[in-house]
A and B are shown apart, each in its own frame.
Chain A
Amino acid sequence: MIGFFRDIFFRSFKKHETEVHKLNYLFWECTSRCNLNCLHCGSDCSKDSSIADMPLADFLSALDTIPEKPGKITVVLTGGEPLLRADIEQCGREIRKRGMRWSMVSNGYLYDQQKHIALLNAGMGALTFSLDGMEASHNWLRNAKNSFSKVSAAIDLAVSTQRLNFDVVTCVNHRNLEELPAIYDYLIAKGVKAWRLFTIVPIGRAKENPDLFLTDAQFRQLMDFISEKRLLKTIDLKFSCEGYVGNYETKVRDTGFFCRAGINIGSILIDGSISACPNIDRTFAQGNIYRDNFYEIWQNGYQVFRDRSWTKTGQCETCRDYRDCGGNGMHYWHGNKANVLVCHRDKTTLSGKIACPKN
Chain B
Amino acid sequence: MTRNWKRNLIGGLSFTTMLFVFQACYGTPQDIGYDTLVEGKVKSKTTGLPIKGIKVFPTNGLQHQYTGEDGNFSFYCNTPGDVMLRFEDADSTQNGSYLPKDTLLTNLKDTIFIEVALEDK
Which residues of A are at the interface with B, using a C-beta cutoff of 8 A? 2, 5-6, 9-10, 12-13, 16-17, 20, 24-25, 27, 74, 76, 78, 96, 101-105, 113, 116-117, 120-128, 157, 160-167, 169, 194, 196, 198, 240-242, 254-256, 258, 260-261, 264-265, 277-279, 329, 331
Contact = CB atoms under 8 A, between A and B. Distances in A.
B62 interface: yes
Given A25-B24, A117-B64, A2 B31 contact: no
Chain B binding surface SS class: loop
Given A120-B63, A121-B63, A25 B27 contact: yes
B76 to A, nearest CB: 4
B44 interface: no
Contacts of B11: 13
Given A13-B10, A16-B10, A121-B76, A279 B16 contact: no
Contacts of A25: 22-24, 27, 30
Interface string B1-34: 0010011001101111111101111111111110
User: Among the interface residues B17, B29, B75, which one has the most CB atoms of the partner chain A within 10 A?
Assistant: B29
Interface string B68-88: 000000111010000000000
14 contacts: A17-B7, A27-B27, A74-B28, A96-B37, A105-B26, A122-B75, A160-B62, A161-B61, A163-B33, A166-B29, A254-B17, A255-B14, A261-B24, A264-B22
Contacts, number: 147
B29 A167 contact: yes
Contacts of A196: 23
A214 to B, nearest CB: 16
Chain A binding surface SS class: mixed
Given A17-B7, A125-B33, A165-B33, A10 B27 contact: no
B88 to A, nearest CB: 15
Given A20-B3, A121-B76, A163-B33, A76 B10 contact: no
